[in-house]
Amino acid sequence: MSASHHASTFVLPATDADGRKNLVGLSRDELEAEMLSVGLEKFRARQLWHWIYHRGSTDFAEMTTLAKPVREKLADLYVVARPTVVTDLTSTDGTRKWLLRMPDGQDVESVHIPETDRGTLCVSSQVGCTLTCRFCHTGTQRLVRNLDSSEILAQVMLARDMLGEWPAPPDGRMLSNIVMMGMGEPLFNYENVAKALKIVMDGDGISISKRRITLSTSGVVPMMERCGQELNVNLAVSLHAVTDELRNIIMPINRKYPLRELIDACRNYPGLSNARRITFEYVMLKGVNDTPADARALVKLLEGVPAKINLIPFNPWPGAPYERSTDRAIQVFGDIVNNAGYASPVRTPRGEDIMAACGQLKSASLRLTAAERAAIANVIAEKDAALAS
Ligand code: SAH
Ligand code: SF4
């Protein structure tokens, strides 16, 4: 089975109500071809690129380096579209969560996490997720479709709009880093993610370097090498368990790509060195994976892999079957890993009050009826069956 085969790719109508085509998300080559196809010169693509991705312009009338008749022609044929912002929530800690509505009515979340002189945008790759990691709320959502490249890119552009960073300052940007850690499994939607990230990395446009981009995967082993070769972004791997026995339960993808294959793929990730390590994410689940023995086994498992370990205190959501490990357990676990020579920062949960923390996206409130619990169990059972077939 091919890795991207799980979710249906739903191709959005690439035009607005007046039949005008959206230019956002076309590659440079596609934009050139587009210009030629309507009788405009090839270099118009370069000019447009600058306005769309460097200046953040959505209005052809503003694009004053283009002659007026050209602007008018473009406005007749094209749009530079943005998704609709349905909600814009700000946490007491400054984290912002945007719920964006795509043209087919599906909602997608992105989260901005500000720090003093920088900020990270957490981007979604799918509506929902075909996988059913037991600790993740996204895994309980029935509806799944891939986002297309323009929808992935639009999350970044919208964030820039909201942060007022067009054109972005060279230093001290509030949108300086990107993590593909929102809803969905990015390596199950590789083509669209890759196309969007190539545009994000383009130096004449949004210009966020590959060193500031991290893609997180649950362990889609067959896609990892290609991701490293083509995009060369930082890789984060959601590990969360050190035995196949436990990982099979909490992350069903492990039944397809077990730990040994996953760690081999990590070891072979292109561009890996001591200066460029893989981040292993490890969600701390009380009484499940948080003992000192687990920590020692983790160190053993990662032997020889340039790694850092990110300990993530579990973030609760309605109906979640787990609890967060105690601070003490996290501390002891972290010390063992640290003493073995691995950096092991504990990720401070951000935006919990607006349900923007890892694994909480699209969760509404913390109360749940018995019927809702049963419905969640049903979704998980259906999706697990699909994964096994
Ligand atoms: N599908 C990808 C990327 C999205 S999830 C992946 O699984 O890697 C981003 C991170 O949040 C993953 O490490 C995921 O395991 C973690 N996560 C999911 N639910 C969580 C929760 N409830 N509490 C803490 N971390 C969670
Ligand atoms: Fe999907 Fe990642 Fe959540 Fe697992 S942790 S269900 S792969 S989004």
- 3-class SS letters over the chain: CCCCCCCEECCCCCECCCCCEECCCCCHHHHHHHHHHCCCCCHHHHHHHHHHHHCCCCCHHHCCCCCHHHHHHHHHHEECCCCEEEEEEECCCCCEEEEEECCCCCEEEEEEEECCCCEEEECCCEECCCCCCCCCHHHHCCCCEECCHHHHHHHHHHHHHHHCCCCCCCCCCCCCEEEECCCCCHHHCHHHHHHHHHHHHCCCCCCCCHHHEEEEECCCHHHHHHHHHHCCCEEEEECCCCCHHHHHHHCHHHHCCCHHHHHHHHHCCCCCCCCCCEEEEEEEECCCCCCHHHHHHHHHHCCCCCEEEEEEECCCCCCCCCCECCHHHHHHHHHHHHHCCCCCCECCCCCHHHCCCCCCCCCCCCCCCHHHHHHHHHHHHHHHHHHHC
Query: Hey, where are the domains in the chain?
Result: 17-79, 84-388
**Closest-approaching ligand to the CA atom of 252:** 2
Q: How confident is the model at residue 9 (pLDDT cuts 50, 70, 90)?
A: very low
Nearest CA to ligand 1 atom 9: 181
Q: Which CATH architecture has domain 17-79?
A: Orthogonal Bundle (1.10)
Q: Is-catalytic flag, 358?
A: yes
| 238 within ligand 2 shell (Cβ under 6 A) | yes
**Closest-approaching ligand to the CA atom of 7:** 2
Tell me which of 312, 355, 360 to substitute to probe ligand 1's pocket, judged by most ligand atoms within 8 Å of the beta carbon.
312
Does 3 score more than 90 pLDDT? no
Tell me which of 358, 362, 366 to substitute to probe ligand 1's pocket, judged by most ligand atoms within 8 Å of the beta carbon.
358
The pLDDT tens digits of the residues spanning 143-183 come to 789 999 999 999 999 999 999 999 988 888 999 999 999 99
> Which atom of ligand 2 is closest in space to residue 138's alpha carbon?
3
Mean per-residue pLDDT for 14-41?
91
| 136 within ligand 2 shell (Cβ under 6 A) | yes
Does 373 score more than 80 pLDDT? no
Domains 17-79 and 84-388 share a fold: no
The pLDDT tens digits of the residues spanning 88-113 come to 999 999 999 999 998 778 889 999 99
| 329 within ligand 1 shell (Cβ under 6 A) | no
Give the per-residue pLDDT at 10.
Answer: 41
**pTM of the full predicted structure?**
0.92
Q: Which among 109, 151, 185, 281 is annotated as catalytic?
A: 109
Mean per-residue pLDDT for 333-344?
96
Mean per-residue pLDDT for 27-45?
96
Q: Which CATH architecture has domain 84-388?
A: Alpha-Beta Barrel (3.20)
Does 86 score more than 80 pLDDT? yes
Give the per-residue pLDDT at 364.
Answer: 60
As a whole-number percent, the residues of the chain with pLDDT over 70 amount to 94
The rounded mean pLDDT for the chain is 91
Tell me which of 6, 136, 216 to substitute to probe ligand 2's pocket, judged by most ligand atoms within 8 Å of the beta carbon.
136
